[in-house]
Structure 1
């Protein structure tokens, strides 16, 4: 196992995550707004971040909410401690923008505690379909680097296109999502390039989670150009188990670290997750077609080989047998 994934929504109530996100957004608008429960963290927002979710000053957390927040932190810290003991990276999954600030707060406050000695244990997730993704990645990474905190990130495209755009429209704001899939691809590739440059300089780590063949090829080429060793543990590619097999095998055969991401759980919970992943990677269907074509070619090759072997067994032996007397 190269890394494990944790969803903060499994250890903290969603309602509380929304409350914490509102408070964090308001503090970004008004730095004098005091949050007594807030731990040390890294930058969560950038100047281009969408803040329309919080239009009015939110009420402080109640004693019960503060207690629940502390319990959620304790659950996450126990996961972090276990990952430190086993030297396995812990990647915090991303959610929609209504609760993502709270998730980043959990991630970065834990990273400050556990990412030490050049070894990122806690990884955040950057969703490249968001217009502020690249700026947030740059700001957070540079701040962490200046503090001597090795930061790791998993790069994905994003999986809440419809709901994000719908909410923004209802509130009278522009969508936080890039206007085209091409812009999302460009943002993803720029973020990947930025992290690869950091790794080449000896800082941080990245998991490039993508089913997009072009992004995989660009990142692999960039890594080679930067002189990043193919066995470097700070660079890893990842695809869902059973998807984009051609990309996975191609990268692995080229010498890069590749993981297959295996979600598990009740069917009624896993299927919506997989459908969001399909929406996240709109090129997935074409990639799956490529996998089908390649698997078809391999199947034909094996059938021909099997038929040839059978025909060889059925043909008369070419061995010459001589019978004589002593």
Structure 2
């Protein structure tokens, strides 16, 4: 995703973004929320500039020496090499082929591939191979003024034995977070795909989609939840009426609920928020169901423990966000949301095409940027005026600047528990340090685990970086500038 600097005159006059069209859904709840939002938008011409004490200039992303003052020269050199390599398309293609090829996954060739991967991609994008190493990485970023999202790097499970093993890993992650300096770990991350068999998530998602098509369709296992779909949500995954869950599937569902509740209870006891990662739309409805039903149970007062994730590259994401927050407000539940752009673009397009439908993802990258900015502005308004929290996970410079200006404008303020910025470990470090230097809470998403276990995550990072870094090169330029300055200082 490209990053470009927003003109100062736009920043000074920032209000709620109107760059995407108003919602036009026939759903009465959605229409009411949209109307309320539109009423809150004053004419752009009458928008006053932020007061001098809240000057946007405090977010400095140009002073490379200040931004990377806490980063060692050896780390900068490695970062520069990895980021340059991942910006070269053919090199990324070869690397992805090597990591996936069966020819290189045996014997000495496998050992060689794993050794190279560990010393390059893994050390750059991950926190370590075990909890001890992850703890050292968390302490390191905390010393630099950042926080860490602790991520046990396992992804998909296919049976209950695997789910139980993964649950133990997530529970241990909470224990690790408790052993680290206070507030150094902002969130513990969980992937529902790791504690619920993938086949069951697909079946549940099909049944939930079918109930959206036909409200008379009864799901006896369904607990209280927030809205999962909007009028514009893609439902093409379910072509024919699915069969009810079997007795074994219902048993597996009960086990999944028990695992998730055990993890939630541990996070409540530790006062450590649990952030549920998003996945592709094949299984996302079931993940949202688990997230929202758990939030209803565990989110109390003004302290969200269970956070959901909204992928704003999906065309229906803004409408779903509005419906979920409205429903949460109605029943008095403080909700926490992480906003991301999304990580499954190629998969989503292929799935939609296989059913003869258009992609559920926005047609242009600018539409995605606009939607992310609109959703972040909406959530900032929500947390400024009521309960709940928001995590703005973005590598986009413009989105970061717009969000900080909005936060100043509406009084969310710096170092506020209601607002956290986040970037992936090894990516957009300049933005992370700039936001932290400006006084905002900033986290790095830090997965840990054996190299082979986190390989799916590394493959996605390599694929994502090809477009992100080749388009912007923002960090590469600043790192190169700082390395040049240090070399001159050492020589002269």
In 2: Cα distance, 1:93 partner to 1:306 partner: 44
Greater relative CO (CA pairs within 8 A, separation 6+): 2
User: TM-score if structure 2 supplies the norm length?
Assistant: 0.61
After superposition, give the CA deviation of every residue in 1:275-308 in whole Å (9 maximum; x if it has no partner).
Answer: 3245557763058722222122222323333334
In structure 2, the residue matched to 1:210 is 394
In 1: Cα distance, 2:468 partner to 2:321 partner: 25
Residue from 171, 189, 199 that aligns with 2:355: 171
Query: Any conservation in 2 of the 1:156–1:209 contact (CA below 8 Å)?
Result: yes
| 1:93 has 2:277 as partner | yes
In structure 2, the residue matched to 1:300 is 484
In 2: Cα distance, 1:278 partner to 1:199 partner: 34
Give the superposition deviation at 1:269. Answer: 3.8
| SS of 1:125 mapped into structure 2 | strand
Residue from 261, 271, 295 that aligns with 2:455: 271
After superposition, give the CA deviation of every residue in 1:32-84 in whole Å (9 maximum; x if it has no partner).
Answer: 11111111100000000000011211111111100100101111111111111
| 1:31 has 2:194 as partner | no
Deviates more, 1:280-289 or 1:193-202: 280-289
Q: Report the RMSD for the aligned CA atoms in angstroms.
A: 1.6
In structure 2, the residue matched to 1:189 is 373
In 2: Cα distance, 1:274 partner to 1:225 partner: 38
| SS of 1:263 mapped into structure 2 | strand
| 1:261 has 2:452 as partner | no
Give the superposition deviation at 1:86. Answer: 1.2
Give the superposition deviation at 1:98. Answer: 0.8
| 1:74 has 2:258 as partner | yes
Q: Which has the larger radius of gyration?
A: 1
In 1: Cα distance, 2:305 partner to 2:326 partner: 18
In structure 2, the residue matched to 1:247 is 431
Kindly report which structure 2 residues correspond to 1:1-326, keeping only aligned pairs within 5 A, or say none: 1-277=185-461, 279=463, 284-286=468-470, 289-308=473-492
| SS of 1:158 mapped into structure 2 | coil
After superposition, give the CA deviation of every residue in 1:213-251 in whole Å (9 maximum; x if it has no partner).
Answer: 111111111111111120111100111112111000000
In 1: Cα distance, 2:482 partner to 2:402 partner: 26
Query: Any conservation in 2 of the 1:243–1:288 contact (CA below 8 Å)?
Result: no
| SS of 1:66 mapped into structure 2 | helix
Give ranges in structure 1 of 5+ residues lacking alignment.
309-326
Give the superposition deviation at 1:100. Answer: 0.4
Give the superposition deviation at 1:160. Answer: 1.1
In 1: Cα distance, 2:410 partner to 2:325 partner: 19
Query: Any conservation in 2 of the 1:212–1:284 contact (CA below 8 Å)?
Result: no
In 2: Cα distance, 1:145 partner to 1:23 partner: 26
Find runs of 4+ consecutive structure 1 residues off by over 6 angstroms. none
Deviates more, 1:279-288 or 1:265-274: 279-288
Q: How many aligned positions are there?
A: 308
